[in-house]
Amino acid sequence: MAPFNFFKKKDAKRDAREQASEVQAPSASTLAVKQVQELLSKIEAGTAQELAARLAPTKDSVAGSLGSLAKIADAMEKEKIKLEEMEKRFGSTAENSKRTVISALRRESSAELPAIQTAADAKKFKDRLEATMNRFGEVSGSHSKMINYFMQKRADMMRAEFATLNDLLKETRSAVAGFDQDRAPVVKCGNTINTILQKAASIRTSEASVRAGEERIAALETEISNSKAELEALTNSQEFAQARSAAERLADVQRRQEQFQSHASEMFSHVTRALTKYSYGVSKETERRLHTMGSEPWKIYDDPAPYAELLNEVRKAVAAGKLQLKDADKILHNLDAIQSSTAEMQKTAAALAEEMKALGDRGLVQKAGEIESRIAQQQEELVRDSQSLEQQRRQIAEKNAEVDAHLKKVSDSLESLTGRRYAVTR
């Protein structure tokens, strides 16, 4: 709000502002990023000094105007309000308005103005002046009519000082806005420099990771070569040839053993119901044997005697009708078949076990398999690390291209700021 409505705020048009004072530009045609930062700091400092110099007389004028307002406040305090007979009813209100205005003038006039040496100081000065004018406006809102009517002479004097302060505020805003406008290219260039430094740090980290990856790959290639040599030496030995022959015979024995187990499982599957019913109320040992016959019947041929006796007991129970089973005759037939084949099955189991034992140690074949698995794992790891390394190299190339583009932007900005063309390096 304009103090006492003596003037209204208007958007001031900023006058065109001259460029910051020229800084001695480096004579070299190539600048490193650090040198560019130093040059930008000098340019910004020069622009800030010009701003401070431009606002110095403004600050003096503001101080003078505030001093005049302080004197007006002193004069107002001494001056008595003269009231006509019809005006006496406004006496109390007029005095209150007078005291309020005097207090505001003294408070704002006595506050020390900040020194202007830097751009930050200039902005503090602008903020201080804006706050002062706002407070003058706030306090005058409900007192302008009284002061204008009863103290016209003082009102005219305040009007002049407020108008002066308002013009000085416009000048200050214009100067600060001009500084910000002139400083913007410097700030933008500085931000580009910061981006370059961040990307350069990221590139260095990635390059270190690439070097570590190259070392890992070289070590893996050596390990694969050593593993292949170890496998070749092993497979070319006479002992391995013998072991491989034994392994082939073992595969045949294992195949026949699986057939034997499958045959045993098939035979006992036909009497499972009888074995299950018979298991009710028997001892733990009998229950264990019944379970073996039902789940792994081929094991009974390692020591068939106790199982043959148990199968005979089961047969008696079925034949006597103690176990109520459907198709009891078929189950009796199957039990007889199992008992009659026991000797042959035992002979087959013993022969298979003997063949397994005769094949001896097969460790060399197993070792060869382990080496082959190790080589496969190492090769998978090599492929994975190689792909990761290639991706990192692509990313580094992309970041380098981005940095080069930013360096050109900095070079263009410096030419605009200094009038000289520089090649900017990292």
DSSP state, residue 134: H
Burial of 26 (0-12, 13-18, 19+ CB in 10 A): middle
CB of 388 closer than 8 Å to CB of 213: yes
Residue type, 52: A
CA distance 147 to 142: 10
CA distance 330 to 308: 19
Mind listing the pLDDT tens digit for each residue in 358-411?
765 567 777 888 899 999 999 999 999 999 999 999 999 999 999 999 999 999
Show the tokens assigned to 90: 């406004």
Show the tokens assigned to 293: 């016959």
- The sign of the CA dihedral 265, 271, 276, 282 is negative
Residue type, 196: I
Residue type, 10: K
Distances (CA, A) of 339 to 220, 282, 310, 319, 322: 61, 21, 11, 15, 20
Buried b (16+ CB within 10 A) or exposed e, 207-217: eeebeebeebb
pLDDT tens across the length of the chain (426 residues): 444 343 333 333 333 233 433 555 666 789 999 999 999 999 988 889 899 999 999 999 999 999 998 888 888 777 766 554 444 444 566 667 777 778 888 888 888 888 888 888 999 999 999 988 888 776 665 555 555 544 666 777 887 888 899 999 999 999 999 899 888 999 999 999 999 999 999 999 999 999 999 999 999 999 999 999 998 888 888 877 777 777 777 778 889 999 999 999 999 999 999 999 999 989 999 999 999 999 999 999 999 999 999 999 999 999 998 888 888 999 999 999 999 999 999 999 998 888 877 765 567 777 888 899 999 999 999 999 999 999 999 999 999 999 999 999 999 999 998 888 999 998
pTM: 0.56
Which uninterrupted H or E stretch holds 158?
helix 152-235
The CATH number of 36-207 is which of 1.20.58, 2.60.120, 1.10.10, 1.20.120?
Answer: 1.20.120
Relative to beta strand 423-425, strand 30-32 is parallel
